[in-house]
Amino acid sequence: MSNHEPCFRTASTTSSSSFKSNTTPTTPTSLFRPVPPPAFLSSSRPTLNTVLYLATLSRLLTWLLAYLCNLFVDDYDSASDTILPPLSSFPLVNYFARPALAVILRWDAFYFLHIAEEGYVYEQEHAFFPLVPALARVVARIGRLKSVPLFVPFALLHPVINFYFYFCLRVGTVIHPVLRPIVWLLSDRYAILIAGALIANISFVLAAGALYRLTYAIYPTQPRLAFLTAVAYIITPSGMFMTAFYTESPFALLTFWGMYEWARGRNWQAAVAWGMAGFVRSNAVVYIGFFVWDGTVMWFKDRRLYGFQVWAGFPNFLLSFMVLYNR
């Protein structure tokens, strides 16, 4: 079949050597004529840019739906009304603008906001790990700076860590002109809340791209499968948890990133990504199973590689002690 031949054949064009003499060609009616797939699924391979675009659009639609629901429906939990101070002395500003931020402050977000503001004060706050609140505090401080440095002071660190901080600085440079006037008009609490929402939503978009790359790395001959896998992640029913000031999106990003590096055989990069995930959620401790399994297999194949595998999993081994300490 040539490259220009249609993907779907009608009964009149389909023939077989064993049925040439006994089959009468028939023309299907327009009602049952096959419908070609969408353009982004047909001839051209679905690109990473399409995945990132759909992920960004899904975050905007999710936030808009939550905002409208919060605007016209009374809250079941009114704690956000107590914690968040009034935005302005004008009633209309408080009525329309305040729910846009209050909608991302629910349940565990209260703990993350308080940790970012005051640190670990209460015993129950130790169930939440420090990376996301610390990043939210840093991003909020970036909004109050007069300028953002363009250099990367982490050049001597691991390339994965270096890229992560470089990306954060570049994002900070882009959003700084927009974020700075907003932050100066708001209190520190609102600034940290906005920063936490930015971290969650940007992490979600990057996690969708990382999942696409991971699936494509495992199934290089099935790009549509990689695209549909990313779309299934984008339309998750728990989308609001990925939009609010929660750890689900950063954890998913570091998880998919680590698995992508692991699929490429880069164990050290995977260990660094999963080690960083351990500072987001304690669930990351189970990723040491990748190194245990590979180490067990290598023990029977090559004991020299076994030693390298043990050292590659050392960051996750240290992570397990931190989890036990917090429990």
Confidence of residue 256 (pLDDT cuts 50, 70, 90): very high
More confident residue, 192 or 43: 192
Q: Is 105 left (phi over 0), alpha (psi -120 to 50) or beta?
A: beta
User: Which one-letter amino acid corresponds to residue 147?
Assistant: S
47-62 pLDDT, tens per residue? Answer: 788 899 999 999 999 9
What mean pLDDT do residues 187-200 have?
Answer: 82
Question: What is the value of pTM for the model shown?
Answer: 0.69
Q: Is 46 left (phi over 0), alpha (psi -120 to 50) or beta?
A: beta
Domain locations in the chain? Answer: 104-326
Q: Looking at residue 215, what is its pLDDT?
A: 93
DSSP code string of 124-151: GGGGS-SHHHHHHHHHHHHTTSS----S
Which residues in 277-309 are b (16+ Cβ under 10 Å) and which e? bbbbbbebbebbebbeebbeebeeeeeeebeeb
